[in-house]
Amino acid sequence: MLYLVLKAAISGVIIAIVSETAKRSPGAGALIASLPLVSILGMIWLWRDTRDPVRMESHVGATFWYVLPSLPMFLLIPALLKRGVPFWAALAAGCVLTIALYLGMTAIGPRFGLRL
């Protein structure tokens, strides 16, 4: 249980660092947020828990393919905000787009040999 609390605390600290940094410098906050810290921590926790290279290979490969459909959200939200769309609506639209692209990736990926 302590291990789970430690994982949650470390992850929460990273989120807090991003939000606090972004208050002072949006660019610096974005740089920290763009780092694959969650992916790296996920890999560390998975490796520590399983020490299974096959599972790790599958996880890291799938992570790469799932990052791709999430990227358009980062173009859509600022474009909507620039056009005066309220933040929550822009965020919702970005999330809906990402979910649709994730569903598309999971439907199409196996046709190209992707194990997701």
Quote the CA–CA distance of 105 and 111 in Å, as a whole number. Answer: 10
Task: Give dist(CA 43, CA 61) in Å, integer.
Answer: 11
Determine the pLDDT at residue 90: 98
In the chain, domain spans: 52-116
Note the pLDDT of residue 16: 93
* Tokens found for residue 60: 């890291």
User: What local confidence, expressed as pLDDT, does residue 76 receive?
Assistant: 98
* Alpha carbons 70 and 92: distance in angstroms, whole number: 13
Query: Could you tell me which residues come within 8 angstroms of residue 12 by beta carbon, excluding any fewer than 6 positions away?
Result: none
pLDDT number for residue 88: 98
CB 22 within 8 A of CB 11: no
CA pair distance 5, 45, nearest whole angstrom: 12
- Per-10-residue mean pLDDT for the chain, 116 residues long? 88 90 93 88 93 96 93 98 98 98 94 85
